[in-house]
C-alpha cells in the first residue's frame, strides 16, 4: 500500500507572524485615544524585533495624544511620531492642558511640529482657542472642541485652515452678526449642539459638499434648521443623526425638515426616550411615508423599545416596502449602562424585522439598566 503524499505544512517565520499581528491590530481601528500609552509605543518597547516591525507600519503612528499629565518632553514626543508615521493623516488629541500653562504659551511648541505637510485632525476640548496659532496647522482637516466658540474664532480657524472637512463644536457663544453668508467649501461633516451655527451659515448652499450632519433633536434646533433648508433641496446631505431625543422635542416634526433632504441614505436616532412610536407612526402615514425616498439604512442606538415602539417600527418598515422604498439595513444597538426606564429590545421581534429589511443587526448583549445606586 502506497503511503499518501505528506501534506505540506505552511511555514510562518517569526517575522511573518509578528507582521500579521501588527496588520490585524491596525485593521481593528481601535480608538487609541482612550489609552494613556498608544499601542505603537507599547509594541516598539517589547524588544528590537518588535520595534523594527512597528517602525514599518506608519499607520500605527497616526494617532498622537499629548497628555500634559504624562508627557514630559513634548518636542521629542512629537518628533518621534512625525518621523515614524510615514505621511499618514495624523489624529491629534490634547488632554488635560492646565490653565496655568496658558500664560507660558505652550501651544506654539505643539503647533510648530505640524507645519510640515501632514493631514491632521485635532481634539482640543478644554483648550482656550485663542492661544493656538492656527497659521501653524494649515493642513488641519478635522477639528473638535466642547467649548463655546465665537464667530471670530470660527472664521479665523476656517480661514487659516482651508482644508477643514470635519468640524465638531458645541455652538457659537452668541447670535452671529448679520452679514453676507459664510461659505465652507470643503466641509463634509458637521456636529453641533445648538442653533447659532445654522444662523451663522445662513443657508445649506454655504456648505455645498456637506454629507453628514449630527444635531440634537430639539425645537431650538428645528426652527433654524428649517430656515437653513428653505427654498431648495439639500442634495449633498447623505447622513443625518438626531441625538438626545425626548418626547417634549416633538421629534416627528423633524420629518418636515427631512422632506428637503432627498438624497439622504442613512438616518441615525441616538439616545431616545419614549417617543419612537410617535415618530414611526407619523412617518408611516400616506403623507410622510415617502419622505427621504433613497433612505436605505436606519440606525437606532441607545433607544428604548417598549412593545408599541417595536410594533410602530415594524409597521413603518412594512409601509416603506409597499411604496417600493424598502429599508435595506436596520441596526439596533443598546450597549453599556442605560437609564433605568429603558426597555431592552426583544429579540423575538427579529424574525419579523428580517422579513421587512434586507439586513438586520441587533446588539443588546452588553446593555445594563442603571439601578437606584447608580443614580446617587
pLDDT digits (tens, 9 = 90+) for 310-347: 999 999 999 999 999 999 999 999 999 999 999 999 99
Q: What is the pLDDT of residue 120?
A: 59
List per-block mean pLDDT (blocks of 10 residues) for the chain, which spans 376 residues: 52 52 54 55 73 74 69 70 72 60 41 49 66 77 84 88 88 78 88 91 94 92 92 96 79 91 97 88 95 97 94 97 96 93 93 95 92 58
Question: Of 368, 296, 363, 307, nearest to 332 (Cα)?
Answer: 363
d(C-alpha 178, C-alpha 195), whole Å:
15
C-alpha span between 24 and 29 (Å, rounded): 9
Beta bridge partners of 212: 189, 239
pLDDT score at 220 = 87
The residue whose grid cell reads 505528506 is: 6
Q: How far apart are CA 364 and CA 334, in angstroms?
A: 5
Residue corresponding to grid cell 446588539: 363
Look up cell 461633516; give the residue.
Answer: 189
Q: How far apart are CA 131 and CA 291, in angstroms?
A: 45
CB count within 10 Å of CB 235 equals 13
State the Cα–Cα distance between residues 23 and 321, nearest whole angstrom.
41
Tally of CA atoms within 13 A in the half-sphere of 351 that contains its CB? 1
Q: What single-letter DSSP state applies at residue 240?
A: E
Count CA atoms within 13 Å of residue 232 on its CB side: 9
First to last CA, the chain: 78
CA 309 to CA 334: how far, in whole Å?
15
Report d(CA 340, CA 371) in Å as an integer.
6
Amino acid at each position: 500500500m502506497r503511503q499518501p503524499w505528506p501534506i505540506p505544512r505552511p511555514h510562518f517565520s517569526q517575522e511573518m507572524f509578528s507582521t500579521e499581528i501588527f496588520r490585524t491590530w491596525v485593521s481593528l481601528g481601535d480608538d487609541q485615544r482612550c489609552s494613556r500609552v498608544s499601542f505603537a509605543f507599547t509594541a516598539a518597547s517589547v524588544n528590537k524585533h518588535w520595534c523594527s516591525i512597528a517602525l514599518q507600519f506608519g499607520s500605527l503612528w497616526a494617532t498622537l495624544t499629548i497628555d500634559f499629565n504624562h508627557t514630559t518632553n513634548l518636542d521629542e514626543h512629537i518628533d518621534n511620531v512625525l518621523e515614524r508615521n510615514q505621511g499618514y493623516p495624523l489624529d491629534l488629541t490634547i488632554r488635560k492642558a492646565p490653565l496655568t500653562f496658558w500664560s507660558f504659551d505652550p501651544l506654539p511648541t505643539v503647533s510648530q511640529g505640524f507645519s510640515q505637510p501632514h493631514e491632521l485632525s485635532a481634539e482640543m476640548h478644554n483648550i482656550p482657542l485663542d492661544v493656538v496659532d492656527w497659521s501653524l496647522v494649515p493642513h488641519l482637516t478635522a477639528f473638535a472642541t466642547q467649548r463655546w466658540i465665537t464667530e471670530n474664532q470660527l472664521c479665523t480657524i476656517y480661514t487659516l485652515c482651508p482644508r477643514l472637512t470635519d468640524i465638531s463644536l458645541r455652538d457659537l457663544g452668541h447670535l452671529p452678526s448679520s452679514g453676507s453668508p459664510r461659505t465652507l467649501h470643503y466641509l463634509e461633516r458637521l456636529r453641533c449642539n445648538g442653533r447659532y451655527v445654522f444662523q451663522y451659515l445662513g443657508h445649506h448652499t454655504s456648505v455645498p459638499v456637506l454629507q453628514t450632519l449630527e444635531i440634537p433633536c430639539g425645537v431650538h434646533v428645528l426652527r433654524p434648521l428649517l430656515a437653513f433648508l428653505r427654498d431648495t433641496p439639500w442634495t449633498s446631505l447623505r447622513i443625518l443623526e438626531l441625538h438626545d431625543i425626548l418626547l417634549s422635542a416633538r421629534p416627528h416634526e423633524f420629518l418636515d425638515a427631512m422632506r428637503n433632504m432627498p438624497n439622504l441614505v442613512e438616518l441615525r436616532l441616538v439616545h431616545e426616550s419614549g417617543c419612537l412610536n410617535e415618530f414611526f407612526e407619523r412617518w408611516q402615514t400616506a403623507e410622510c411615508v415617502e419622505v427621504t425616498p433613497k433612505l436605505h439604512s436606519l440606525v437606532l442606538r441607545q433607544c428604548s423599545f417598549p412593545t408599541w415602539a417595536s410594533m410602530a417600527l415594524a409597521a413603518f418598515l412594512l409601509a416603506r416596502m409597499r411604496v417600493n422604498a424598502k429599508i435595506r439595513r436596520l441596526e439596533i444597538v443598546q450597549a453599556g449602562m442605560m437609564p433605568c426606564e429603558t426597555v431592552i429590545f426583544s429579540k423575538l421581534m427579529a424574525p419579523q424585522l428580517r422579513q421587512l429589511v434586507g439586513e438586520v443587526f441587533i446588539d443588546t448583549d452588553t446593555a445594563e439598566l442603571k439601578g437606584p445606586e447608580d443614580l446617587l
